[in-house]
């Protein structure tokens, strides 16, 4: 266990904010070195638009995919405010829960396989950004696989994630016309007012009964306090359990039209990740539940979550997918991020058994 914790510490101490390609490249080298030592195999480095991803393939054609990411949401300097520590059975440090512990677990589980033929390991570097450079790579690697195991952190109490909402991301860009707010406001077209109309319109597209949320998030507009704003923009986050709901909201957003005469509205973005539904995960959850009991572990629980992961992509191309197999703890993206240390070997044993079963069946 000491060696396992040392591997996790090494990865956590290499800060890897998603937006910094150099930092992500350095983190990739740490992951690569761990993989070389544990697997006695060199990874393929795949750099797409400056972002570094790693892939190990064993055998001719992948049948089982281990999927994780080594980027985090934590900015440079986070180790100073959230140092790596292990105290009273709790590990802390930026990215420990989401999901550097899971990356190390994947490598150790792969190393424990007597025969790795048919196994692929893909560790990406931009998941926290929505996987803009790695989506096609993930989908390509998953196609033809019989199972995808995603090392994202677990749900409450160690529950694996058998259902995830699909996500869509938009920017509503408004163009108006600037003018002096005191001398001649009537000559302007107020982009802020237009944006307010658009925000109310998109918010009304949510359907709580269906679990569909449409949430305006980051917004900006204007230049000075005495100028009618000539431009404004808002980001919109959409989550839905069903593909039909994603598509309904997508159509409605693209049909938005200006309310103010002379204003212009442009829609950027769209559907990012399809939903991961229980049809994709049920058989693997049943297998994992049986293996957990065989290993003497507690009965495995499942959960549905609103957050999306790269498992949405593998499920979206028709590959059976089980998510949330990584660390047990809490606090993803938050100050209280932590991992329960005693659960690491248990989860790794379960993952090892899952991979072995999937490779041999």
Residues 185 and 298 in one domain: no
Q: How many CA atoms lie within 13 A of 347 on its CB side?
A: 33
Query: pLDDT band at 138, cuts 50/70/90?
Result: very high
- Say if residue 157 is in the same domain as residue 188: no
pLDDT(361) > 90:
no
**Final residue before a domain boundary, out of 273, 289, 323:** 273
Quick one: average pLDDT of 51-78?
96
Alpha carbons 226 and 2: distance in angstroms, whole number: 62
Q: What is the pLDDT of residue 1?
A: 64
Flag whether pLDDT at 19 surpasses 90: yes
CATH number of residue 207's parent domain: 3.30.70.360
Residue 65: pLDDT band (50, 70, 90) is: very high
CATH of residue 39: 3.40.630.10
Pair (135, 170) in one structural domain: no
**What confidence category does residue 3 fall into, taking pLDDT thresholds of 50, 70 and 90?**
confident
| 92-311-24 Cα angle (round to 5) | 50
- Choose the final residue of a domain: 273, 301, 318: 273
Which one of 7, 127, 194, 245 is the catalytic residue?
127
Does 224 share its domain with 311? no
Range of the domain at 268: 166-273
Mean pLDDT taken over the chain: 97
Confidence of residue 60 (pLDDT cuts 50, 70, 90): confident
Q: pLDDT digit string (tens) for 259-311? A: 999 999 999 999 999 999 999 999 999 999 999 999 999 999 999 999 999 99
Dihedral (C-alpha) 26, 31, 34, 37: value to the nearest 10 degrees?
Answer: -90
What pLDDT is recorded for position 39? 97
Please report the pLDDT score of residue 255 as a whole number: 98
Closest among 262, 254, 259, 257 to 238, alpha carbons compared: 254
Cα–Cα distance measured from residue 310 to residue 303, given in angstroms and rounded to the nearest whole number: 17
Residues 46 and 173 in one domain: no
| pLDDT 10s digits, 212-249 | 999 999 999 999 999 999 999 999 999 999 999 999 99
Do 179 and 92 fall into the same domain?
no
Domain ends where: 224, 253, 273? 273
Residue 338 tokens read as 């932590």
| Alpha carbon distance 161, 312 (integer Å) | 11
The answer to whether residue 127 is catalytic is yes
pLDDT of residue 95: 97
pLDDT at 2 over 80: no
Distances (CA, A) of 272 to 32, 281, 309: 28, 20, 10
**197-200: which pairs have CB atoms within 8 A and are 24 or more residues apart?**
197/259, 197/260, 198/172, 198/174, 198/234, 198/256, 198/259, 198/265, 199/172, 199/234
Does 20 share its domain with 132?
Answer: yes
239 and 325: one domain? no
Q: What is the mean pLDDT of residues 18-40?
A: 97
CB 327 within 8 A of CB 96: yes
Nearest-angstrom CA–CA distance, 184 and 109: 69
Above 70 in pLDDT, residue 34?
yes
Q: How many domains does the chain have?
A: 2
The pLDDT tens digits of the residues spanning 155-183 come to: 999 999 999 999 999 999 999 999 999 99
pLDDT at 338 over 90: yes
Catalytic option among 71, 98, 141, 310: 71
Same domain, 290 and 155: yes
Domain shared by 96 and 227, yes or no: no
Q: Is the peptide bond before 6 cis (omega within 30 degrees of 0)?
A: no
> Are 147 and 288 contained in the same domain?
yes
330 is catalytic: no
Phi, psi of 13 (to 5 degrees): -70, -10
Domain match, 51 and 160 both: yes
């Amino acid at each position: 266990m000491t060696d396992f914790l040392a591997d996790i510490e090494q990865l956590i101490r290499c800060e890897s904010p998603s937006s910094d390609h150099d930092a992500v490249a350095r983190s990739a080298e740490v992951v690569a070195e761990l993989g070389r030592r544990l697997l006695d195999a060199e990874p393929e480095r795949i750099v797409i638009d400056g972002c570094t991803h790693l892939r190990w393939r064993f055998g001719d054609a992948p049948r089982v995919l281990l999927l994780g990411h080594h980027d985090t949401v934590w900015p440079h300097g986070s180790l100073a405010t959230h140092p790596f520590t292990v105290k009273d059975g709790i590990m802390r440090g930026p990215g420990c829960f989401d999901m550097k512990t899971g990356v190390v677990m994947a490598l150790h589980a792969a190393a424990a396989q007597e025969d790795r033929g048919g196994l692929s390991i893909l560790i990406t570097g931009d998941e926290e950004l929505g996987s803009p450079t790695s989506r096609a790579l993930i989908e390509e690697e998953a196609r033809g696989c019989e199972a995808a195991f995603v090392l994202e952190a677990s749900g409450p109490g160690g529950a694996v994630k058998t259902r995830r909402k699909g996500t869509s991301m938009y920017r509503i860009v408004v163009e108006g016309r600037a003018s002096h707010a005191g001398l001649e406001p009537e000559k302007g077209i107020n982009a802020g007012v237009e944006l307010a109309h658009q925000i109310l319109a998109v918010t009304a597209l949510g359907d709580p009964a269906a679990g569909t949320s449409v949430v305006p998030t980051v917004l900006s507009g204007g230049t000075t306090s005495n100028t009618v704003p000539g431009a404004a923009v808002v980001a919109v986050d959409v989550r839905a359990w069903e593909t039909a709901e994603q598509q309904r909201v997508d159509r409605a957003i693209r049909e938005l039209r200006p309310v103010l005469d002379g204003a212009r509205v442009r829609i950027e973005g769209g559907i990012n990740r399809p939903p991961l539904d229980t049809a994709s995960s049920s058989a693997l959850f049943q297998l994992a539940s049986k293996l957990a009991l065989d290993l003497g572990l507690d009965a495995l629980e499942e959960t549905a979550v609103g957050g999306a992961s790269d498992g949405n992509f593998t499920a979206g191309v028709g590959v059976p997918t089980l998510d949330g197999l990584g660390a047990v703890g809490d606090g993803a993206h938050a100050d209280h991020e932590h991992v329960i240390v005693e659960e690491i070997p248990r989860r790794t044993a379960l993952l090892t058994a899952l991979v072995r079963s999937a490779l041999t069946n």
